[in-house]
Every structure is written in C-alpha cells, then in structure tokens.
Chain A
Amino acid sequence: AQSVTQPDIHITVSEGASLELRCNYSYGATPYLFWYVQSPGQGLQLLLKYFSGDTLVQGIKGFEAEFKRSQSSFNLRKPSVHWSDAAEYFCAVARPAAGNKLTFGGGTRVLVKP
C-alpha cells in the first residue's frame, strides 16, 4: 500500500522568506502526486499536481514542486512567503488507474511571522 510522509509537522517562516515543505512517498511505481492547502475552517484547495512529464510543476499562488524519482520526493516551494500563506499543507498520492482515491500525508502547518 502506498504511504506519504511529511516529516515536518510545523514550520515557522518570516514573511518574505522562502519556504520548502517536504514530502516523501512510498509506492512501487510513480504515483500521481498532489499538494493541497487547507486554511482554518475551510476545505482543501489544490495547489498543483504531477502526473508525468516535466518534473518541475508550477501551481497557483506562486507555488512550485519538484518530483525526484530517485528520492521518492515531491517537495513544495515558494520563493517569498506572504502572511496569507499561513495554513496547513497536505501532500497526497493516487495510484494510476485507481480513480480518485487520495492517500494523504499528515500535513505541515505553516506559521508566518511578520
């Protein structure tokens, strides 16, 4: 069975600084990979996704992620964080040909200092 690990439970970053969130997955082949963001009291919003092709994926809100097959990683980055980026971020995987079932990591809560 696939699994997803987000090693950092909390990250605190200063506004304007760069941000990198780590995600490692365990799966026999290359899964579909996703990053979602959840603001307090809200549902999940898709930031970006990777299915195949270029390993550097651009998403919304200035986020990007890089798929590294050799490291089974899909880390999320943002060059300059805004206060509105404070939220919880989830990495998720889906098995190809398994429909819409997503397996999520435990999440990383991002706090932004002024």
Chain B
Amino acid sequence: KAGVTQTPRYLIKTRGQQVTLSCSPISGHRSVSWYQQTPGQGLQFLFEYFSETQRNKGNFPGRFSGRQFSNSRSEMNVSTLELGDSALYLCASSQQRADQETQYFGPGTRLLVL
C-alpha cells in the first residue's frame, strides 16, 4: 500500500497570502489529522477529520481551517499568512477514529513565509 502522501512538499509564500496543503491518506483510512512542527513550539495538533467531519481541534486561530472529502483526502488552508506560520505541516491517517489506531504520518509539507 502506498503511504500517506502530502503535496506540495515545499512551498514559499509571502505574508498576507493564503495557502492550501493537501493530504492523501493510506487507502482505506478514514481519519486524517494535521500537525504543525516548528523549532520553537514543537509538534502541535491542528485538527482531526473523520468521515468529512471535524472531530477535534487544537488551539490555533481561525486562519487555520481544513476539510475532508468523501474519498478521505484532506486539505488544510491558512489564510493571511504570517511569518510565524513557517513550519513543517504533517498529516497523519488511521483507519478509524478509534483511540487505539496507529497513526501513519506523511513526509510533511515545508512552508516558508517571507
């Protein structure tokens, strides 16, 4: 099976722009979670989607949003980019939204905001 794929892998944007990142989960997986990784704040949970519904949300401003499609693919959007949004954005998928499901992480999208 193919692993979790994230596109694009690298992205450069300027302040004030918006960006959309994409995540394709492992085939058959219905849960997708997003995390932000920065040197200063470490790994922080953004949100989780299951069957097109957001089931969990982290402490991020409303500029960060996401969605999940019927094929379980997910996108996250960041509007009005700030320099501090520069980070590695990781997506993880699992089969169900159950506590004991192993989450499989993608390689991430590295976003640089200038």
Contact = CB atoms under 8 A, between A and B. Distances in A.
Nearest to B47: A101
A35 B48 CA distance: 20
Contact of A98 (B43, B56, B100): B56
Contacts of B92: 44, 100
A100 B97 contact: yes
* Dominant SS among interface residues on chain A: loop
Nearest to B6: A43
B64 interface: no
B98 to A, nearest CB: 8
Contacts of A98: 56, 99
Contact of A99 (B42, B44, B97): B97
* Dominant SS among interface residues on chain B: strand
A96 B99 CA distance: 6
B66 interface: no
B51 interface: no
B107 A101 contact: no
A111 interface: no
Q: Which of B42, B50, B92 has the most CB of A within 10 A?
A: B42
B80 to A, nearest CB: 25
Given A43-B108, A44-B90, A107-B42, A102 B103 contact: yes
Given A32-B100, A46-B103, A100 B108 contact: no
Nearest to A107: B42
B78 to A, nearest CB: 19
B58 interface: yes
24 contacts: A32-B99, A36-B105, A41-B107, A43-B90, A43-B108, A44-B92, A44-B105, A46-B102, A46-B103, A46-B104, A49-B102, A99-B31, A99-B98, A100-B33, A100-B97, A101-B56, A101-B58, A102-B33, A102-B103, A104-B42, A104-B43, A105-B42, A106-B42, A107-B43
